[in-house]
Amino acid sequence: MSVKVLYFASLQDYLMRGKDIIELPEYVHTVEDLMNYLSENNADLKKAFETMPRLRCAVNQELAKKDSKIKDGDEVAFFPPVTGG
């Protein structure tokens, strides 16, 4: 399974990139599985997920939760909470 992972705002700045195309193993089925897989395989993402615990995510441009399902070809975005005024 392959997914496009997008990073926005301060997360993009920290990682110094805006996206990755990731080939995932069979056991990755949810956003949380994806986050765990990314953390296990990338020290920068592990640190980002640990230091930015309030990150939001979206799957195919719809807000998602950690238990949201992902499938081949999906776009998963991670971004910090947004405030307005």
Residue recorded with tokens 């991670």: 78
What is the Cα–Cα distance from 54 to 43, expressed in whole angstroms?
A: 18
Which amino acid appears at position 22 of this protein? I
Q: Within 10 A of 84 (CB to CB), how many other CB atoms are there? A: 3
User: What value, to the nearest 5°, has the Cα angle with vertex 52 and ends 48 and 55?
Assistant: 105
Give the predicted TM-score (pTM) of the model. Answer: 0.91
pLDDT of 10 strictly over 70: yes
45 or 85: which leads in pLDDT: 45
In order of their start, the domains of the chain are: 2-79 (3.10.20.30)
| Mean pLDDT of all residues in 50-65 | 94
Q: Put the strands of the sheet holding 56-59 in their side by side order.
A: 19-23, 2-7, 75-79, 56-59, 62-64
